[in-house]
Amino acid sequence: MVHVVDITDPADPRLDDFRDLNSSDRRPDLPEGKGLVIAEGVLVVQRLVESRFEPLALLGVERRLGELADDLVDVDVPFYRTTADVMAEAVGFHLNRGVLAAARRPAPLDLADVVADARTVAILEGVNDHENLGSMFRNAAGLGADAVLFGGACADPLYRRSVRVSMGHVLRVPFATVPDWPRGLSVLRDNGFQLVSLTPNPTAVPLAEAMTGEKVALLLGAEGPGLTEHAMRATDVRARIPMAPGTDSLNVATAAAMAFYERVRTG
């Protein structure tokens, strides 16, 4: 069980891992990012506790400690119990979720392990919006995709905003980096994956017809630029979501959801 420590002074150094979260958000920003992982709110803290991430400490109000009691039975770290006001002063803003957990980043997962038993994975290139990354993991979890892989130039999926938007699923859905992008895609090919590029290009094959593999890896680029030609050339087929004329591409996480759905529907 967590050991409850009452805190009355917002300057207490034991709260340093939770201090000024908005400014610690300005840390360097790479998929291999540094810094602690912060979970906000009861649901995300529950997911953190069940995940491969190990909490260092929690900070929250009495009510949230009560709500989390069953989840924290096997968690042997401090729970800094305080008031909403002290919490707001330490964190730097008012948090109406009332509880935070801080965790160290575990060692990155090995790409070969992540893809070994997977059937559907998303591979991202140039996706540098934390909200989109979070939505991607939420949609992957909801629609049963097995992993998210990072090709070139993506942002840190463990950034606080991304963790929050993912509803904690970034802590559950495995992710790994594809080295030597895009040549490293050979690992997927060697594991029997069909490599499918998603593109708004109207000459591409409709999504439902394009995904013919037993195992499918979906490549998605950032909104706007999309996938690089370099990456698309390394794939087996270019697929498009049928779009209405005169509209833009869908949000990248929504496009992925459409493909995940198609895999579930035909799976």
- Nearest Cα neighbor of 109 from 168, 57, 150, 164 is 150
Closest CB 139 distance from a copy of itself, rounded Å: 6
Mark the segment that binds a copy of itself (CB under 8 A) among 14-22, 155-163, 231-239, 251-259. 251-259
- Smaller CB distance to a copy of itself: residue 83 or 261? 261
Binding mask 226-245 for a copy of itself (x = CB under 8 A): ---------------xxxx-
- Nearest Cα neighbor of 121 from 211, 61, 183 is 211
| Residue 217 sits in the site that holds a copy of itself (CB under 8 A) | no
SS3 content of the chain, % helix, strand, coil (to 5): 35, 20, 40
d(CA 48, CA 26): 23
d(CA 84, CA 61): 6
- What residues numbered 2-31 form the site for a copy of itself, per CB under 8 A? none
d(CA 35, CA 77): 19
| Residue 128 sits in the site that holds a copy of itself (CB under 8 A) | no
- Nearest Cα neighbor of 191 from 155, 156, 147 is 147
In the set 46, 197, 235, 249, which binds a copy of itself (CB under 8 A)?
249
In the set 66, 106, 144, 179, which binds a copy of itself (CB under 8 A)?
144
Mark the segment that binds a copy of itself (CB under 8 A) among 4-12, 100-108, 184-192, 259-267. 259-267
| Residue 133 sits in the site that holds a copy of itself (CB under 8 A) | no
In the set 5, 153, 208, 237, which binds a copy of itself (CB under 8 A)?
208
In the set 130, 138, 160, 240, which binds a copy of itself (CB under 8 A)?
138
Nearest 5°: the CA angle 50, 84, 62 is 55
Closest CB 78 distance from a copy of itself, rounded Å: 28
Residue 119, C-beta contacts closer than 8 angstroms, at least 6 positions apart: 146, 214, 215, 216, 263, 267
In the set 2, 115, 167, 220, which binds a copy of itself (CB under 8 A)?
167
In the set 21, 124, 210, 257, which binds a copy of itself (CB under 8 A)?
257
| Residue 252 sits in the site that holds a copy of itself (CB under 8 A) | no
d(CA 86, CA 229): 52
Whether omega before 157 lies within 30 degrees of 0, making that bond cis, reads: no
Sheet of 55-60, strands arranged across: 3-6, 78-81, 55-60, 99-103, 37-40
| Residue 141 sits in the site that holds a copy of itself (CB under 8 A) | yes
Task: Give me the residues that bind a copy of itself (CB under 8 A), please.
Answer: 135, 138-139, 141-144, 167, 169, 208, 241-244, 247-251, 253-254, 257-258, 261, 264-265
